[in-house]
Structure 1
Amino acid sequence: MALFKPPPLKLELPEDVYSTVPSCWMSRERWVALSLALYDLMYTDLRGTLRAPSVSRDTFQAWAIAESGCADTATGRDCRPSVRHLIRAISRSRRTVQRCRELSKLLDLRQVVFRGRQRTKLERLESWEREDRSRGWTAVAALIDSPAYAHLVDNSVIELTVQQLFGAPPPRRGGSVSISSPSVVTSEKNVRKRRAPRDRDTKGRTKTTRSYDQKALLLASRTRSDERFPLWLRRLGVKGLAGVLTPYALGGWDTDDVYEAMEDVRRSGQRILTAPRNPHAYLRWLLGFTEVTAPPAAHDRAREDRIERERCEQIRSDAEQRRAEALAAVPAGPDSPGRRAAMAVAAGAGQKAISSSAQRSARGREAQQELARQRAMEG
């Protein structure tokens, strides 16, 4: 029996693993403040181009505090919290933690120096001998002060954020520090079951779901998938967009009408915004310049329908003409006058052939009889 319990198996990193890390952080508080300042400065543009994942500011703040609490205080290196640890720390789901890390990579705040992996068989056996049941290594990262984008943030903004978040130096409790209490949006039960919290309504009210007309939903879906429209419109939800387009869908509008209505506003000299603050209200304002009962593309559709009908009529006329020519080339029917005349000619030719054959037979018999008489006279 061993005299003492051996420590858990430690992951030995190469000596030059941090050679590609540009710099260390100045302090944990400054790194968290810089993360929030970059979020306020760049997230809207990144999200507008669909480069950044969907992460709220409160969630990103809670993640930054929990993630930085597991890094080396002096350098910001050796940061290796597991996703399970962060899920319990900020009470969010696994996918939310992953989105926060994706956003931190875009903002150049976190650089991974060792990607997590499963332990080898020898490593697992050694772990079991040390009574360590871990089956893999977590990723190791360095938290850095965003060398790519830190120059865009004013130092006064960072100092103000530090004062608002921390005020006094945070207390240290064990290996992790909780600087501020993150807002709990989901319980552990909901995180495990991957669903949003649903508390019981104590007032006895029932939630009702708004219903939308099928034509409006279809028009909204086609509008969102049409690349002619700006990006802010295509990012709207189907139901929210259907709420705006319902009167126009009931008025017989289609995607071309919506596009032409917006184009009419642009042709009149109005500038179409690229990132409106209230997209639904802005779209309703743009479409308000056109009467619901006068779809802009109705005349074009009528002209196209007329051209299509003329083309179909021409195709039908050509088909009838070809059919008539084909029927004329086919022999006449059994009761047609031409067929009766042809049958009469054929019958006359047959009778003539029969009479000619009878005459030849009669002449043959007469010749034989004459030959027999001459032989009898000679004998």
Structure 2
Amino acid sequence: MNDASHGSACPPDGLPAAHRDTATLLTHRYYGSSALLRRRGTARTTPESIRRAGGECFDRLPRIVLEIEPVAAIPCWRGRARKWVHETVPTAYRSRYDSHVRPAMPGNPVSLKSVMAVAEARASFADHRTGRNCRPTNDRLAEITGLSIRTVQRASTALRLLGVATEVMRGRQRSRDERFASWRVGDRGRGWASVWALHDCRFRSLSPHPEGSSFNLFNSCKKSLTTTNRRKSAGRSAASRRPRPDNRALLLANRWIADPQTPAWARRYRTGGPWAAVLTTVAQHGWTPRDLNQLLTDWVGTGHWIPESPYKPIGLLGKIIASHGNPAERPAALDEAREQAELLAVRQRIDAQIQNRETQRRAREAGRAALQGPGHQAARAILDEIARRRKGRGSGAGATP
């Protein structure tokens, strides 16, 4: 087929005069479904799998699909999925992200890596010749790409804003009749996924520069960002920046959260950053997680009460530390000193036992060596001679009649 558009928004040349008005209507940009114009379709059953033209793999289709209403001028890609993923999408991202996506999604950035991962996953569900009829769910895309559902949603929005994808029909919940019809064919889905069309970029430039040229297609805002001459106060409307937490306080907070003796309410914040401001003073005096836990124990022992889930745990800890008074007095210092003294006494007792055992071993070796001396040998010879005489005397008395 010579025309790679497959009936897209690009009408063929040389149409008769009678059909030029129709062709003019078909050349307008198609933006798909919207909140004001919601497109619907007809649910029809389909085989569980349909073999592609090549015959080596299968398209993933549900048991029942929603056929959308016929819409004119749905765009498509002019090539294959690989070209669209690795050429069209990165080029559109580098050239139009700052101008088309960033202003429309303030505070919700998405990286090129995430956009390409979602684009590759969507391309695997689309028609391979046209790029249309792409209808995976966000959960399915998140499972394939390993990203969160919110990241998948941001990447899909970025594809639409970059002009390389069009949401033909918005997703919606199934009606009561549609749910009964889908359950009869074994489909337990409760909604219809959005139908997308993946196509070439609809923002065409007159003289695009190729990749690797001397023209910078992507201007990062970080190149012009500087804070060397920033004012300390930007006025009432500007938010003040948080000071960087002390490294020792941050280390103490992280160790305290990871300590098994720490109460469960202290793990409400998974990082030690929120606790660092409260623990800055005590961290400078060398406090440990044991000191904090002992401080909580002493607080309860003095008649106070700590709920299982405090309303403001950071404020509660700050109040307890303030009531302690002198941060130079560590709560667990006496216990640690007592344990060190007990450990030292145990080690001294073990050393004394080892020395006593060594002394006894040396005495046994000296006694064994003395048994082989000349005095012991002479005494053994005399005893052997006495035994021999007694034996000979006893044998002679027995032989007399």
**TM-score, scaled to structure 1:** 0.41
Identify the structure with the greater helix proportion.
1
When Rg is computed on C-alpha atoms for both structures, the one with the higher figure is 1
Greater relative contact order (Cα < 8 A, sep 6+)? 1
**TM-score, scaled to structure 2:** 0.39
